[in-house]
Amino acid sequence: MVQTKEISTAPRVLDQAPAPTAPPTQTTFASPSDMRQLIPPLGLKQYWYPALEDRAVKNKPVGVKICGVDLVFFRDKKGEVSCLWNVCPHRGGSLMHGDCHFPGTISCPYHGWTFDGEGNVLAVFPEGPESKIPGRVVARKYPTRTLKGMVFVWMGDGEPAPIEEDVPPEFFDATTRVFIHTEYWPVHWNVALENGGDAHVPYVHRNSMAMLMQPVGFASALGSKQTIISGRAVAALSAGYGDARQGQAKQPYQRYFPALGGYWPKHRWRLLWTWGTALARKRAANQPPWDWPEEWTAGSTGGGEHHLPGMYRRDYGTHFYTRQSVPVTENLSRQIYYRALRPANWLSRAWQALSYKLYGRWAMYTNFSEQDFRAVAPQRYDTQEHLSPTDIHQIYWRRLVLQARGMMRAEAAAAIPTTDAEKFSSDVQHKEPATPQR
């Protein structure tokens, strides 16, 4: 019996995720007009993406996969994090398995080709100082920028686009601090992203701490008004449920379903939490607006927003929440969370760090997002959809993706026929059921 030995890359590779709990995402769609088949399974490459935290890069190379591309990160001569394609231009060796023998360099583990932060070959150890290779061969470099402890990398070809178009403004705002958290979901990047900003919140998250603080149980059956801003973001101008800025939607907490012969939610005890947290909601509603461009603050209007290349953003008053879905492979995505806050002084800064460590991190990532993960992990992405009016945000988002950098022109995207699912969404008539007196 032949035994094989696997090389362990866990100490140097960050893309270690749990085994998928769902069938692999399919690539054959039920309808030939389905917009989803036009969305790249490995993401939009002509964009800046968050790669890893600066503190993760020490004295050894670190490997990260983004948009299906294997990258290697190490520190250059100035101590800044640099990024190269993880393929040695000599004979395809894996640079992430190499070493940084000299400051500011990385050496291939196979033949010792040694590169600087720009990808230039500085030495070939087996050939000695007389080697003719230096100055003749260059490894592919990916531009990087480190902002508030997060390393961003340009995944596209050619000259990078302005990073301010792709990275949230809190990373450029000296008055804000940003907490960062990363998780891996074994799902298509767009499946994870479309999880934000739709009607699932009052149902999936009904027992989360965030929703227990909201005195509502429903989203509007008619959906919300949408707007596209700067060609880079789509915002839902109202959500029909809890809104930190504009107060709560005026809907009854319970509603009667004639076909079921009962009310939903079944119980009103959750309102006890609502009454107990009224001061926290009032404090959130009284926070000053964020002084950022409209395309980044549309999440303040109630329904949140999606921003290219793959972010969901929402204003919670006391902090601004972002979840970015970064494609790793077709069936694996890296979920990177940003929590932006505005400390007034050193005391509030210390309190923010303590409350985030003791409560905020658990409430959002373990409690809230874990509920999202359980919902989307087994979700199919290839079946025929019958969209509801509450899915209008996802429809707008998909059309925005088709107009992204490296995709089709706006005119071509607008010419795409309305899908059966979109027609179903607009044709469905909603009639308010009678609510008997209690």
The mean per-residue pLDDT over the stretch 212-234 comes to 69
Average pLDDT along the chain: 82
**pLDDT per position as a tens digit, 93-140:** 999 999 999 999 999 999 999 999 999 999 999 999 999 999 999 999
**Where is average pLDDT lowest: 148-157, 270-279, 308-317, 428-437?**
428-437
Position 79 confidence tier, pLDDT thresholds 50, 70, 90 = very high
**pLDDT per position as a tens digit, 180-212:** 999 999 999 999 999 987 778 878 877 777 777
**pLDDT per position as a tens digit, 336-381:** 999 999 988 999 889 888 988 888 888 888 888 888 998 999 998 8
For the segment(s) 58-148, the CATH number from 3.40.50.2300, 2.102.10.10, 3.30.465.10, 3.40.190.10 is 2.102.10.10
- For the chain, give every domain's residue range: 58-148, 163-427
**pLDDT per position as a tens digit, 26-47:** 455 556 668 888 899 999 999 9
pLDDT of residue 59: 93
pLDDT of residue 434: 43
Q: Judge contact between 15 and 334, C-beta under 8 A.
A: yes
pLDDT of residue 147: 98
The mean per-residue pLDDT over the stretch 234-239 comes to 70
Q: Please say if the pLDDT value at position 10 is more than 50.
A: no
CATH of segment(s) 163-427? 3.90.380.10
Q: What is the pTM of this model?
A: 0.85
Position 158 confidence tier, pLDDT thresholds 50, 70, 90 = very high
Q: Please say if the pLDDT value at position 413 is more than 80.
A: no
pLDDT of residue 344: 86
The fraction of the chain above a pLDDT of 70, given in percent, is: 74
